[in-house]
Structure 1
Amino acid sequence: MKEDVKYNDHLKELLEQLPKGAFLTVKDGDKLNTMTIGWGTIGFIWQKPVFVVMVRKSRYTYQLLENAKEFTVSIPVNKDLKQALAFCGTKSGREFDKFKECNLTPEPGKVVNTPVIGECDLHYECKVIYQQSMEPALVAESIKKLAYSKGDYHVMYYGEIVACYVKE
């Protein structure tokens, strides 16, 4: 059973797990993909709860997200999904069905058409309300060296959180 919660009720769990990995899932028509994210943030912008995720233009997820304009973030709080997170963070959805390869269960979202990962405990459903490509000239040199040595910058997607729930 899924219990609706406020978007900020489980920030501690989210912020502890995010650096270890979470699943960003996107569905565009019959194309479905999930990828591992280790960066993101939740806040309150434009009088809305917002989850900001970053996706590189080279990623398969980027192509899907550009069309779908919605995404889900699934957080494994109580279950060890390290192997699935590692696979989904290193393999491309262009070449692999990550759900099949990792035995992940896509479960229908409550509000959006994109599913959540059934093996996870905490879920955010989001609709893109703003996006912006990073401007390389505005990025600190230390960050460029750390994350962008190949020039593969991110697009930031601001998703209004339209549903948030935990599995009971």
Structure 2
Amino acid sequence: NEWMLVTAGDSKKFNSMTVSWGGWGEVWNKPCSFIFIRDVRYTYEFLEQKEGFTLCFFPEEFKGALRILGNRSGRNQNKIKQSGLQYVLTPSGLVAYKEAKMIIECKKLFTAPLQTENISKNVRETIVKDWYTSDPSLHNLFISEITKVWIKKHL
């Protein structure tokens, strides 16, 4: 029920975006996250270049900042600064946010583009019409090992 913020890159150059498609479970006996990102998104470029990334979750009061990060591109503007969030580096050197109530560090295990011909025939037409007609760019699946989790304690 909460938005995730995926962040990839390094301290010199990174980008973040909101993600609503995803979750976690176990794959290959490893705790894993899975997320879906369109290949036209700026953050996708960073996810492709780096092995690690973070998923951050925020208290309700940061919905406005998350809307900025989800609705604007970081290609031509500094949306991180516009959001008002303060980035921090995890001990592993990954970019996360000070305001996050939970930070999950992930290491990529598997990536693959979703291909419309692999969508079940009984729902393919509807899914393609609803999700890939106005924007034909495809989502890519990232399955990643969860390597660390930080949860902010309330005082």
**Common fold by TM > 0.5:** yes
Mean Cα displacement is larger for which, 26-35 or 88-97?
26-35
Q: Say if 2:117 is the partner of 1:137.
A: yes
Matches within 5 A, 1:121-136: 121-136=101-116
2:96 is matched with 116
Tell me what 1:87 maps to. 68
What percentage of residue pairs aligned between the two structures are identical?
29
SS of the aligned residue for 1:24 comes to strand
Q: What per-residue deviation string (whole Å, max 9, x for no partner) do you get for residues 117-138 of structure 1? A: 2111011100001101111211
User: Residue 110 of structure 1 contacts residue 163 of structure 1 at CA under 8 Å; is this kept in 2?
Assistant: no
Give the paired residue count.
Answer: 148
Residue 61 of structure 2 aligns to a residue in which SS? coil
Partner of 1:165: 150
Measured in 1, the distance between the counterparts of 2:10 and 2:100 equals 21
Give the letter for the 1:84 counterpart. Answer: A
> 1:146 — aligned with what?
130
- What CA distance in whole angstroms lies between the structure 2 residues aligned with 1:96 and 1:136? 32
For 1:80 and 1:131, the matched residues in 2 are separated by 33
* CA deviation after TM superposition for structure 1 residue 29, in Å: 6.6
Q: CA deviation at 1:90?
A: 1.1
Deviation at 1:24, TM superposition (A): 0.6
Q: Does 1:44 align with 2:26?
A: yes
- Which amino acid is the alignment partner of residue 39 of structure 1? W
Distance in 2 between residues matched to 1:142 and 1:98, nearest whole Å: 34
Q: Which has the larger radius of gyration?
A: 2
Q: Is 1:79–1:120's contact at 8 Å kept on the other side of the alignment? A: no
Q: What is the CA–CA distance in structure 2 between the aligned matches of 1:92 and 1:146, rounded to whole Å?
A: 23
- SS of the equivalent of 2:150 reads strand
TM-score, normalised to structure 2's length?
0.89
Counterpart AA for 1:104: L
Cα distance in 1 between the residues matched to 2:57 and 2:128: 28
Establish whether residue 105 from structure 1 lines up as the match of residue 86 from structure 2. yes
**Do the aligned residues in 2 keep the contact of 1:40 with 1:53 (CA within 8 Å)?**
yes
Give the corresponding residue for 2:8.
26
C-alpha root-mean-square deviation of aligned residues, in Å? 1.4
Q: 1:28 Cα shift?
A: 4.4
The aligned counterpart of 1:10 is none
Q: Distance in 2 between matches of 1:135 and 1:95?
A: 29
Give the TM-score, by structure 1 length: 0.82
* Structure 2 unmatched runs, 5+: none
* Alpha-carbon distance in structure 1 between the residues aligned to 2:25 and 2:16: 23
CA distance in 1, matches of 2:126, 2:94: 35
Structure 1, unmatched stretches of 5+, are 1-15
Residue type of the alignment partner of 1:141: E
**Separation of aligned partners in 1, 2:102 and 2:125:** 35
